[in-house]
Chains A and B, each alone.
Chain A
Amino acid sequence: MELWVGAIILGFLYAFLTLGSFLTFRVLHFPDITVDGSLTAGAATSAVLIAAGWNPFLTLGLAFLAGAAAGSVTAAINTRIKIDGLLAGILVMTGLYSVNLHLMGRSNISLINHTTFVSCLEKINPGLPAEIWLLVCLVPIMALFWIAASLFFKTDLGISMTATGNNPTMAAAAGVNVERMKIFGISLANGLTGLSGAVVAQYQGFADVGMGIGTVVTGLASVIIGETIFPLRSIYAKIFSAILGSVVFRLMIALALSAGLNPIDLKLLTAVFVLGALVLPGTFAKWPKARAAFAGFPRSATNLRRIRIALPGVAIAVLVLWSAVHFSQHGVIGTKICRIGIVQISDHAMLNTTRESFLKEMNVQGYLEGKNCAFLYRNAHSDTATINNILDDFLRQDVSLVVAISTPCTQAAINRIKDRPVLFATVADPFVIGAGKSDTEHKPNVTGVYGAVPMDVLLEKVRATLPGAVRIGCIWDPSQINAVVNVEDFRKAVERHPELTFVGTAVSGTSEVYQGVLSLVQRGVDVMVLPPDNVIYSAFESVVKAAKPRKIPIFITDVERIQDGALAALGYDYTSSGIQAAHLAERILKGEDPGRIPFQKYSHLTFALNTEVARELGVKFPPAIVSSATRIYGDKSAPCLGGLQASTEKAPSPGRVRRLALFHFTDSETVMRAVKGFMDELEKGDFLRRHAVKVDRISAQNDWNLAQAIARDIVRKKYDFVVTLSTPTLQMMVRTNREIPAVFGMVSDPYSLGAAKTPRDHPANLTGVATSPPVESALKIMRELFPKARKIGMVWNPSEACSEASMHRARKAAPAYGFELVEATAGSTGEVLDAVKSLAAKGIDLFFTSNDNTISLAVGSVAAFLHQQRIPYFSNTPVHVEQGAFLAIGADYEEVGKETGRMTREVVSGKSPKTIPILEFVPERVYINRGLANEYGVKLPQPLAEHATFIKR
């Protein structure tokens, strides 16, 4: 729910931008790129002023002016100096980056502890949930905005502006100062963009210098989506569709995320979508008759042909790019003893459970990743076509065993792979897909674990819970072969009981699920029963959304989804299925012929009840049902259980599995080290299993917008714990998460971010580990090793908050050790080497870099240059030494991860984060490149020589 409400709110906040884009692209016919910068300019202006104590509403006006000023510069460059509009926009946008940085004074301003328009509105909240209340407030504001904007285009000024864009000659003939009108229009558009930036910054609780990237496409996409939905000519309709387009665009992103689309592909999809939307209606609009004469009209025919040629081209390019990106991430692993390819259709919870338990059991059996075995895990992200690509990749990498998790993967694997063993798991019925005739008589290279949820048992549960004449609704996607089989079984079971009626509907794709369930509701169903079906379960929220208001109970076959709104779930324990599959894998790897291993059926059934849903629906479970339940979700003493709690306790109830979200911003080597430390700590002594905690690792792929969406998603999915590794993810979670116990790590300064005031004064649900890079210790070591050195050169990126903080500390500490600091800045990786060269020209004796991501990406070339110049290279990042630096003293992030893990263990064990003070933890460790030490003739003092880690290169 939060995801959707949040998406609509964001859509509203970005509607100002969309209207700006409408003004430039559609009214003035001016492709304006300035918005990438003016959005940030607005956000920065507002954030700086709010931080200085201004009224948040007042800052909106100034944010508008800041954006407008940026726009007027672009327009002036275009009209007065006659420079192409696109180029003018690029120039101003690029320049604005510096201006915005100056304006903000640092790269990121937190507004968590300041008054924003959101917190002002919250003060007058009559008691609604915060997000809903915000939405309620925004609706009239947007309505006013809609009417005001529409009326504007009806005024003399508005009509003159439209004429200026449409026919400048005519406008000039009517006495319009075309240049000035263009400047005015573009300023207005950028002002609106700045306003958008300001409200978004206030809503998300911070302004960041990088938040404007991609704004042009966002704005344009929203305008185009709106036009596609509402292709009307009236100006009221046009403005309305722009606002609507903005909301729909955000909803599409939310939908893509919640449907489990790989977030990596979001940007590409957006770009392709915009391209398609630009090409198609554009060609039709140019020749209005083309619509009528689809084939006959000669001009339209050539254009349709052009489209026919262009679209597959684009599609192929996208595919090639995607697979290149996808597969380059995995690469080819060096020679290993055995390789096991694991392919899974989607990130479905039951499939994840299967895979994780399989991998864990393989570990137990002595198959260790990187030691004697390599597990190549691939996810097809719900695209069946991708499975074949994955299987081809497995063949290319010559795996010795293919593990297919889910029915579609198994189907593809048994067709594709004939010359090596295939092991399947979490498949309902291997016989319908042609894996064999019976458990013992099957394809020679295929074996596995299977099991259909017994639909007749499920029906008995339904009948016991809801006695009497019942209309049972059932929905499935016919493209899912196992769903069809199960539905058939279920229908037969229902038909055996004359008092029951089966009402079914088939849909294709997740987007139709909501409509499908509504149609069943209309046909008067009393209960929904969902057989196993990957598509339907991907859209399970839609089922709940449609059924809940009509108080229709839902019975499901995926126990993992019980907490999402089902009344009861009967399914298999997928953990045990993964373990069973691992045992079969071991037999195959030991040399047993898969053709002689019979298929195995799962044994464990799980039956779960949700007491919260029961209470809402007013359902009271009969004693027989309660006593057969193996898992109770919600209040275990709820009256709907009929006080038969004693019997549930007799059942081997493991309790609900609690979920922990491990959320990090990038996948860099340093982060992965921390993740490893963290996981090692949590897995120590079987802690996770004993506490029934499941860890979901989520990466934001270095993308702010994505991180924001993920943060929201974590709250929506009601995780039990959140752990953030890195500063940006902490920032995102602080804003959205007020309840879930959270632990942070890999953050150098949580106080300046507004996440906490002091180590003991922090939000009740949040604590963590603060690790600042040991800048002073680095300077100390430099002095010890190079007593004669005088000048230290430092390169840093002013747009990085952490880098800037380190720089300040170095400036402060350098004189104490008798150093003079020579600085150079680099705005991008490409500038780093030039900056270092400029320092070398100034005669530095040593080079130092601390906590700067930009430099980190160019270490190799910097190190090579410094080596050639014989300037020792110091760093605060240990991996730099492996890449050619001389010495690094840094936090050992594996240790930091472990410390974060230790704190997380306390929280998981029940300690409130409120009582745990933030820990300042800098596990200093020195790494030295021995070769360079000899070359520079450095004598290492005794304690250092003993404790340092030496790296040969």
Chain B
Amino acid sequence: MIRIRDFHKRFHAGSINEVYPLRGINLHVRPGDFVTVIGTNGSGKSTLLNAIAGAFPPDSGTIEIDGEDVSGKKDFQRAKHIARVFQNPFVGTAPEMSIAENLHMAHLRGKKKLLRLGLGLEQRERLREEVRQLEMQMENRLENMMGTLSGGQRQAITLLMAVVAGPKVLLLDEHTAALDPKSAAQVIALTKRFVQNGGFTTLMVTHSMQQALELGNRTIMMHQGQIIEDISSEEKRRCTVEDLLDKFSELRKKERLTAEMLERLRRSY
């Protein structure tokens, strides 16, 4: 479904601010794969997702989605196939529009925006059913402003918006990191359910090793702009959080990871 070949990206090339977040990425994601992505800070996880979404073109290399080379296409052109949920719950929705209007925007994904009155009674009833799936009692508040909802509620809606139009690829960028533990658990449960039912090809960036191992059928580990580990479904079943931390320790041995970083990882899991 996604095939990335030797992808390089450099920002502010030649200047003092030069960063080189993607250094030759090669990745093949099969249809229906649910890949969790882990890695140290600044290892290029989010940049990888941005690259797939089309936020910037590659310096070199190609990217294919469903067999089509989309390297030169912009984000709104790829939006027909790709849905995203960001870490910040405020990014995914428009605060001064109602829940209904936001969801309606999601349904318009990849369609022509015409002079058509799209938000009729029938459509509203459909949206209500969709919101009911969230089990957050928001189905009777469709006319409420998005900005009046809590972060968890907003993120749940954003997730719903990402899946309603049936994308080929779903990109989740630490989408529970900014939520309180209870909301985070709710959103993770929803994620599991939606991906299972929809069978979307999914990439999910996470900082939680636990989540990385529990969810999905494949885990990749990134470091300094490269994919350094690719753990398949069978390996994952055997793998523990300790094993993953050991892998980071190995990196330290190669003097790629400082003691301080390691300590931070240990503390958080």
Contacts and interface: CB of A to CB of B under 8 A. Distances in A.
Interface of A: 151-152, 154-157, 159-160, 162-163, 166-167, 169-178, 233
Given A175-B79, A233-B145, 14 more contacts: A154-B117, A155-B115, A155-B116, A155-B118, A157-B114, A160-B113, A169-B91, A170-B91, A170-B94, A170-B102, A171-B105, A172-B79, A173-B83, A175-B111
Interface string B115-146: 11111000000000000000000000000010
Contacts of A159: 97, 101, 104-105, 108, 118-119
Contacts of A170: 91-94, 102, 105
6 contacts: A162-B96, A163-B102, A166-B95, A170-B92, A172-B79, A177-B74
A170 B91 CA distance: 6
B108 A156 contact: yes
Given A170-B93, A172-B75, A174-B108, A157 B113 contact: yes
A178 B76 contact: yes
A269 B110 CA distance: 49
B108 A160 contact: yes
B148 to A, nearest CB: 8
B203 interface: no
A152 B74 CA distance: 27
A162 B91 contact: no
A166 B108 CA distance: 16
B117 A174 contact: no
Interface in B151-176: 161
Given A167-B91, A167-B94, A174 B115 contact: no
B97 A175 contact: no
A289 to B, nearest CB: 11
Contacts of A174: 79, 105-106, 108-109, 161
Contacts of B114: 155-157
3 nearest A-B residue pairs (beta carbon): A175-B79, A166-B94, A167-B94
A175 B77 CA distance: 6
A156 B116 contact: yes
B95 A151 contact: no
For B95, B96, B119, B145, the residue with the greatest tally of chain A CB atoms inside 10 Å of its CB is B96
Contacts of B104: 156, 159
B110 to A, nearest CB: 5
Contacts, number: 90
Given A167-B91, A174-B79, A175-B110, A162 B101 contact: yes
A802 to B, nearest CB: 48
Given A166-B97, A167-B91, A175 B108 contact: yes
B93 to A, nearest CB: 6
Contacts of A167: 91, 93-95
Nearest to B114: A156
Contacts of A157: 113-116
A162 B84 contact: no
Interface of B: 74-77, 79-80, 83-84, 86, 91-97, 101-102, 104-106, 108-111, 113-119, 145, 161
B118 A175 contact: no
A417 to B, nearest CB: 59
B76 A172 contact: yes
B119 to A, nearest CB: 7
B118 A156 contact: yes
For A159, A160, A163, A178, the residue with the greatest tally of chain B CB atoms inside 10 Å of its CB is A159
A598 to B, nearest CB: 73
A175 B76 contact: yes
A175 B109 contact: yes
B65 to A, nearest CB: 14
A160 B105 CA distance: 7
Contacts of B116: 155-157
A162 B113 contact: no
Contacts of A152: 115
A944 to B, nearest CB: 73
Nearest to B105: A174
A162 B97 contact: yes
B105 to A, nearest CB: 4
A176 to B, nearest CB: 6
B201 to A, nearest CB: 17
A233 B97 CA distance: 10
Contacts of A233: 145
A173 B119 contact: no
Contacts of A166: 94-97
A174 B97 CA distance: 14
Contacts of B113: 156-157, 160, 176
For B80, B109, B113, B161, the residue with the greatest tally of chain A CB atoms inside 10 Å of its CB is B113
A153 to B, nearest CB: 10
A173 B114 CA distance: 18
A170 B96 CA distance: 12
Contact of B80 (A154, A160, A175, A177): A175
Contact of A155 (B97, B117, B145): B117
A542 to B, nearest CB: 40
Nearest to A164: B94
Contacts of A156: 104, 108, 111, 113-116, 118
A166 B97 CA distance: 8
